[in-house]
Each structure stands twice: as C-alpha cells, then as structure tokens.
Structure 1
C-alpha cells in the first residue's frame, strides 16, 4: 500500500491516540478526533488498533463522532487489522449508510473467509439506499458466487458506476462477457467519476481487450496507467496478452497527447486564452485535455507566456495544473522553460510524481541535449512510469545508452521496453 500521502499531520502515535480518546467537548477543533483516526494509519501497532476499535465502538450520534467512526473503520481497513473484524462486522447493521459503506470496504481490505460475513454483506443489496457499488466490488473480490443473482439485478441500474461494477462482477463470476462493452462505453461518459470507476471495473473483470480504450480515456494519466499496468501484470502472468500488444498503448498513455485521446467535452465557441489557461485547474481532466488541445491548436504563440505566468502564480503548487503546464511547454517547444522542466523532472514531492514523467517527455520535445544526462540519471529512480518516459525521451534524442541500463531494471515493464528497443536496433 502506498502511504506517501498519509503522514501530513506531524503527530506522534501517542499524540494521535490521546486526541482520539479526548472527549469532544474538550477539543479546540471538533475535527481533531477525525484527524487522529486518519493519522493512526502510520502506526500499525496494537495500541493504535485498539484505540481505533474503541473509537468505532463509540456510537454517539453527534456528527463529528460519526465521521470519526467512519474514518476509524477506514484506518483499520488500511491497517488490515484482523482483530477489528468483529467490531467492523457489527457496523454492517448501522443505520448510517456511509458507516456501512466503510465497513464493507474495510472487510474487503482486511480479508475474511467467513461466509456468514459475506452473506451479511450480500444481504445489503436488498436494503434501500446503500452504497451498492462498494458492496458489489467487495463480494466480487471475495468471489462470493452466492450473490450472483442479487448482483445481476443491478446491471441495468440508472447509476452508471453501479451498473458498471455489476456487469464486471457478473463477467467475473459467470464468464459471460456479453455486456462488457457497456463498461468500455462508460470510458466516454460525461461524468469523470463514471470514467474513473469503469477503469477499475475493467481491471476487476480482467478484460485485457480494454487496454487500447483505457489508454485513450480522458481522465488523469494516473488512472489510465494504473489500469494498463494492472491488466498488463495479470494478463502477461496468465499468458493472455504480450508486451508487444500492450506497448503502443502504454507509449501513448505515457506521452499523453490530448489529440490522441477520445475527448468527451467540446466548446460551442472558441474560448479566450485566459479561459483555457484557467481550465487547466479543473478536477475533470477531460476538460483540461480539451483546453490543452485548443491552446496548442489556437494559441501557440501566446500560450507560452500565459503558461509561465500561471505557473508562477498558482500552478507550481497545484499538482493537476502543474502536470498540464509542464506537458504544454514541451509541446510548444518553449526553450526558456528548460530550467523549469528540469526542476519538474527532479521534483521529489509525491503529489507531483506524474509531472516527473511529463517533464521527461517535455524535455525531449524541447530538444535541448543538456537533458540527456539528466534523463539517464532518472533511470535509477524507483518510479516505473518515470523510467519508461525517460526511455521514450532518450529514444527521441537518438540516444541508445539508457537502454542497456533499463534492460536490467527490476520492473518488468521497463525491462521489456528496453529489450524491445534493443531488439529493434539489432534488426
């Protein structure tokens, strides 16, 4: 589990436990117990787990206690605390549907072979106003086939993420993939949440044929790369798909050009430069990609100065906009951005990880050969998509030396890419 973003409150274990045990009326800030429950994910100890279990047992109906209970359940799930299963199981009957949702998810994370618990989860599918998507996903994760008929009734749900999860689960349980194209179709849904959700469902259904469409889906590259990566890992291990089939789509996703995506939004009239730059801050990356495409096509001369200005004002600290600005400056071949791109390539902050691969591609597009040794050095950093991007960038520079390094990489995808490039050179 990736814990890079959890430790942001700078609390010790003792301080977090003390906060969690403090009566709400004695707190300066009513959210302190919630923060403590969140922070205890950093401490996989019996003391931390006991404190979280105690918090879950507190059934006071106060709003802040309810959200603390939910977070405590989530933290127990992330800690995979098997000792917490009984208290979390009791939450399956809670009247608060969000607490039930977290309990189902946490059981899925911790794991259980108790079919009585799985049946309790399945029975929630007959209960109104529950988080059916999480319930279906968890039952599928445990391969609880006794729930198949109950899941089947959700395949035509008006809620697309629920329908998507149900279709994927039915395919997984029965081997019937006749409706899986509906899930693939959700990759073009106007809702970014539906687009993101169906990628997970295609992973769960192990539908390897979806890789080309996932690569073109207008969501953050993080979701696409995760989908391609997990399907590639499972598919190659099972002998269902080869790297040669995956490679062009993975290359496309890493390069991430907006004109190679199937965009779902459009403008009814040409927007201003200022509007398009502001769109790079949208949480729906589909809108960011449309803005990027329009900037490249319509404002290639004016855009670089505007991008440098927004970077200085805000994008340097907004990891979504940061990513798009970095990519755009490379495509626009804006030479004065060289130092900024190098800084992005070497940025150690975890929130900006995807910008490092973006910077590798941008530096190649810029064409300044001072980047070559920096790209080679980045092949030693333990981030697989960065290393893959550096291989693409070095190839664009016409430099082959990085392939020898990457051919011995511990990551099989990086190694396969390097070997494929070496093989191309030898033929």
Structure 2
C-alpha cells in the first residue's frame, strides 16, 4: 500500500484522539475530527482503534461528525482491526449510504469467514442508492457464491462500472469467460470512469489476454501501468504467461506515445493551437492524448514555444499538464527545454512522480548522452515506472552496460528487462 500521503497532518496519536473526543463546537475547524480519524491510520494501537470505534458509536447527526464517522470506518479497515468487525457490521444498516459503502470496503480489507456478514452485504444489492460496484467487488473477494444470481442481474446495469464489475465477477465465480469481451470493450468507452473501472475488473478477473488492450486504453498511465503490472505479476507467478508476452505492452505504456493509443474522442475540424494547449490540462487524459497527438501532427513548428509558455505560466505546477508537456518536449526534440526535463527527472514531489519517467524518455529523444549518469543513478530508486523508463532511455541512447545496475532488482519485471538490455553488449 502506498502510504506517502497518510502522514501529512503532523499530529501525534494523543492529539488525534483528543480531536476525536472534542465537541464539534469547540473545534477551531469542524473538519478537524475528520482529519483526526484519517490520521489515526498511522497508529495501529488499541488506543487508536478504540477511539475510532467510539467515534462510530457516537450517533451525533451533525454533518461534520457523520463525515468523521465515515472516515473512522475506513481507517479501521486500513488498520485491519478485527476487533471492530461487529461495530463495522452494524454500519451496514446505517441510513448514510457513504457510511455503508465504507463499511463494506472495510470488511473486505479486514476479512471475515462469517457467512451472515457476507449475506448482509449481498442483500445490499437489493437496496437502492448503494455503491453496487464496491459491494460486488467485496463479495467477489470472498468468493461468495450465494450472491451469484444477484450479481448476474446487474450485468446489464446502465451504470457501466457496475455492469463491468458484475460481468467480470460472474466470470470469476463461474469460470465462464464467454462474456468478458464486454468488459474489454469498456476500455474504449466515452466515459473516463468506465475506462478506468474496467481495468480493475480485468485485473480481478485475471484476464491476461487483455494486456495489449489495456496498453491502448486512453486513460492516465497510472491506471494502465498498474493494470499491466498486476496482471503480469499474477500471470507470471502462476505460469499462465511469461515476460515475452508482457514486454510489448509494458514498453508501450512506459513510452506512452499518443499514436499507440486507441482514441475515444475526435475533432470535427482542425483545432487552434491555443485550444490544444488548454486540453493538456483536462482531467480526462483521453482528451490530453488527443491534443498531444494533434500538436505533433498539426503544429510541430509552433508547438515548442507555446509549450514553453504554458509551462512557465501554469504547467510547472499542474502535475497532469506537466507530464504531457515534458513528454512533448522530448518528442519535438526541443533542446531549449533540456534543463526543465532534467529538473523533472529529479522532482521528488509525490504528485509529480509520473513526470520523472516521462523525463527519462524525453532525455533519450533529445539524444542527451551527457545525462547517462543521471539515468543510471535513477535505476537505484524504488519507483517502478522511473526505473523502467530509464532502462528504455539507456537502451535508446546506446548505453547497454549501465543497465547492469538493475540486473538484480527486486522487481521481476525490472530485473528481466535490465538483463535483456545488458546482454546486448555481450
């Protein structure tokens, strides 16, 4: 689990517990109780767990307390607090749909063999206004066969993420994958939420033939890379696939070229340069990729200067646009951006991590052989996409021997790729 963002409030355990117990009217900011419930994830102690349980048991109907209760349920799930199961189970009947949702998720995290709890979760599929997708995922985690008929009834849901997980779960529970193609089709849905959701469903279903389809899906690299890595790790460990079958999709995702994606959006006329630059800030990365591709095809001469202007004005501080701009600098072989790209390679801020891999690829496109020591050094980090991107960059720059650094890497995919490149010299 990635815990980089958990400990951002700098509270001690005593301070967090005190905030949970403090009356709302006495708090400087009413959201402090939520903050405290969130922060206690850092303290897997009986005191923290008891304080979270007490928060849930407090029936105060005030909005800010309800929000804190929801977070307390989630935190108990993250702490895998088995002693809290009875309290969390009681939340399944809560009037607040978000509290119910968090309770279902927490039970999935903590684990249970009590069929009565699973039956109660399954019955929520008959209750309007619930998060059916999460309920189905949790039931699938426990391989709860008695829920099969209820899940089957949702395979035609108008809500695409719900239909997607229902189809994938039916396949998992029955072993019949004849309908899984419908989940693969969601990778090209116009809704970004549907595209992201079905990647998780394909992971859960262990549907290895979808690797190449996930690689082409126009969503953020974060979702595609996670899907390919998890499928690869499961499939290789179980002997279902090998690295040779994974490598093309993995390389494609790390390079992340827009021409390698199957776009779900299109323009009915040539957009202006200004419009395309603004699209790089869109939250739907499908639009960002289409804009990137169009900039490369329609404005190869004008784009570099426009990208530099938007970088200096906004993109330097917008992690989505930052990523796309760094990549474009590389594909456009824009040498004046070299220092910016090198700076991105070393950016340690968590939200800018994917830009580091983009920078490694961009450096290779610039042919910046003087940066080889920097790429080699980056191979010692713990960030998968950065290490893999550095391997691809070093290979592109013709320095195969530097990849030797990663030939004993703890990650099988990195290790295999590094050995493959390092062997080119031998």
TM-score by length of 2: 0.97
1:37-59: CA deviation from partner (whole Å, max 9, x where unpaired): 12222222222221111111122
Report if aligned partners of 1:31, 1:64 keep a CA contact under 8 Å in 2.
yes
Q: How does 1:7-26 map to 2 (within 5 A)?
A: 7-26=7-26
Measure, in 2, the Cα distance between the counterparts of 1:338 and 1:204: 41
1:95 matched residue in structure 2: 95
1:115 matched residue in structure 2: 115
Measure, in 2, the Cα distance between the counterparts of 1:36 and 1:175: 44
Report if aligned partners of 1:379, 1:402 keep a CA contact under 8 Å in 2.
no
1:358-394: CA deviation from partner (whole Å, max 9, x where unpaired): 1100100111111111101111111122111111000
Measure, in 1, the Cα distance between the counterparts of 2:8 and 2:277: 30
2:30 matched residue in structure 1: 30
1:209-235: CA deviation from partner (whole Å, max 9, x where unpaired): 000000010111010000000000000
Matched, 1:105 2:109: no
Measure, in 2, the Cα distance between the counterparts of 1:225 and 1:258: 15
The structural deviation recorded for 1:276 is 1.3
1:28-86: CA deviation from partner (whole Å, max 9, x where unpaired): 22211112212222222222221111111122222211111111111111121112111
Between 277-286 and 135-144, report the one with greater CA deviation.
Answer: 277-286
The structural deviation recorded for 1:402 is 2.0
Matched, 1:174 2:174: yes
2:376 aligns to what SS in structure 1?
A: helix
Report if aligned partners of 1:279, 1:291 keep a CA contact under 8 Å in 2.
yes
Measure, in 2, the Cα distance between the counterparts of 1:8 and 1:317: 19
1:127 matched residue in structure 2: 127
The structural deviation recorded for 1:302 is 1.7
1:359 aligns to what SS in structure 2?
A: helix
1:85 matched residue in structure 2: 85
2:183 matched residue in structure 1: 183
Runs of 5+ in structure 2 lacking a partner?
Answer: none
Measure, in 2, the Cα distance between the counterparts of 1:44 and 1:390: 37
The structural deviation recorded for 1:170 is 0.5
The structural deviation recorded for 1:316 is 1.6
Measure, in 1, the Cα distance between the counterparts of 2:9 and 2:57: 24
Report if aligned partners of 1:376, 1:402 keep a CA contact under 8 Å in 2.
yes
1:138 matched residue in structure 2: 138
The structural deviation recorded for 1:304 is 1.5
The structural deviation recorded for 1:124 is 0.9
1:215 matched residue in structure 2: 215
1:92 aligns to what SS in structure 2?
A: helix
Structure 1 stretches of 4+ moved >3 Å = 422-426
Measure, in 2, the Cα distance between the counterparts of 1:76 and 1:154: 29
Matched, 1:352 2:378: no
Q: How does 1:212-361 map to 2 (within 5 A)?
A: 212-361=212-361
1:201 matched residue in structure 2: 201
Q: Per the alignment, do residues 199 and 221 of structure 1 end up closer, same or farther by CA in structure 2, a change over 3 Å counting?
A: same
1:371 aligns to what SS in structure 2?
A: helix
1:370 aligns to what SS in structure 2?
A: helix
Measure, in 2, the Cα distance between the counterparts of 1:81 and 1:136: 22
Could you say what the CA RMSD is over the residues aligned between the two structures, in angstroms? 1.2
1:45 matched residue in structure 2: 45
Measure, in 1, the Cα distance between the counterparts of 2:83 and 2:341: 48
Between 353-362 and 266-275, report the one with greater CA deviation.
Answer: 266-275
Measure, in 2, the Cα distance between the counterparts of 1:424 and 1:400: 7
Between 212-221 and 416-425, report the one with greater CA deviation.
Answer: 416-425
Measure, in 2, the Cα distance between the counterparts of 1:59 and 1:269: 57
The structural deviation recorded for 1:425 is 5.2
Measure, in 1, the Cα distance between the counterparts of 2:380 and 2:401: 13
Measure, in 2, the Cα distance between the counterparts of 1:43 and 1:309: 45
Measure, in 1, the Cα distance between the counterparts of 2:51 and 2:276: 48
Measure, in 1, the Cα distance between the counterparts of 2:67 and 2:32: 11
2:385 matched residue in structure 1: 385
Measure, in 2, the Cα distance between the counterparts of 1:408 and 1:4: 26
